[in-house]
Amino acid sequence: MRVRNPRTRADLQGSCVKKIEAIIKPFKLDEVKEALHDVGVSGITVTEAKGFGRQKGHTELYRGAEYVVDFLPKVKLEIVVADALAERVVEAIAAAAQTGRNGDGKIFVTSVESALRIRTGERNDDAL
């Protein structure tokens, strides 16, 4: 039985692509977008999200009734960049999104095995 090294295939194709997912506070989106533009990011995907972590939500008063808001509004950013640019992108997001309070968010970096631009058929770094 032959065991394949999962990195070998990607390395042979020249795939040096990272996907960066960031969960941030909505009011920080414009600052983060500008910071990403400054480091050379040409495109991002933004999704409205709700969630909680250590922040755990809060209670609000509405028409005299108190209720718990478990899920707080967040924004999820997805950026796919060349491996060489990934660390600069993470640093830019972290600096622009930080308020110093609970709920500033998280950043996740994963390797992308393959990327394809549908219109042209370009792959991996060329597809970005």
At 83, which CATH number? 3.30.70.120
The residue range of the domain holding 68 is 15-127
Task: Examine residue 114 and state whether it is found in any structural domain, yes or no.
Answer: yes
Task: Examine residue 4 and state whether it is found in any structural domain, yes or no.
Answer: no
The structure's pTM equals 0.78
Task: Examine residue 19 and state whether it is found in any structural domain, yes or no.
Answer: yes
Task: Examine residue 8 and state whether it is found in any structural domain, yes or no.
Answer: no
pLDDT of 3 above 50: no
Q: How many domains does the chain have?
A: 1
77 vs 60, which has greater pLDDT? 77
pLDDT of 2 above 70: no
The answer to whether the CB of 81 falls within 8 A of the CB of 15 is no
Task: Examine residue 6 and state whether it is found in any structural domain, yes or no.
Answer: no
71 vs 43, which has greater pLDDT? 43
Task: Examine residue 86 and state whether it is found in any structural domain, yes or no.
Answer: yes
Mean pLDDT of 108-114: 94
Q: How confident is the model at residue 56 (pLDDT cuts 50, 70, 90)?
A: low
Q: What is the pLDDT of residue 128?
A: 83
